[in-house]
A and B are shown apart, each in its own frame.
Chain A
Amino acid sequence: MSRKAHIVGVGESQYTKWGKIGDITEHALALQTIITAITDAGLKVSDIDGLASFAEDRNEGIFIAAELGIPELRYSNMVWMPGGGGGCAAVSNATMAVETGQAEVVVVYRSLCQGQYMRFGHAAELMVNSAANAAEPPPVTFSQANTMMLAAMGQVMPFGMLTGAAAFALPFRRHMHKYGSTSEHLGKIAVAFREHANRNPRAVMQDKTLTLEQHQTSRMIADPFRLFDCCMENDGACAVVITTAERAKDLSRARNRKMVEIVASVQGAPKGYSFGSFTNANIDDDIYATGGNTQMADRLWKKADMKPSDIDVAQIYDHFTGSVLMQLEDFGFCKRGEGGDFIDSGALSANGGSLPTNTSGGSLSEAYMHGLNHVLEGARSLWGESCNPVKDAKACLVTSAAGVPSSALLLRAH
Chain B
Amino acid sequence: MRVLVVEDELRLAENVARSLRESAGYAVDIAADGQEGLFLAESNPYDVVLLDLMLPKLDGMELLGRIRQSGQHTPVLVLTARDDKESVVALLNAGADDYLTKPFDLGELLARTKALIRRGKGQPSPVVVIGDLELNTVNRTVQRGGKAITLTAMEYRVLEYLVHRPRAVVSKTELLEHLYDYNWEKFSNVIEVYISGLRRKLNQGSSRQLIRTLRGQGYMLQD
Are A and B part of the same complex?
A: no
User: Which B residues are closer than 8 A to A by beta carbons?
Assistant: none
A residues near B, CB below 8 A? none
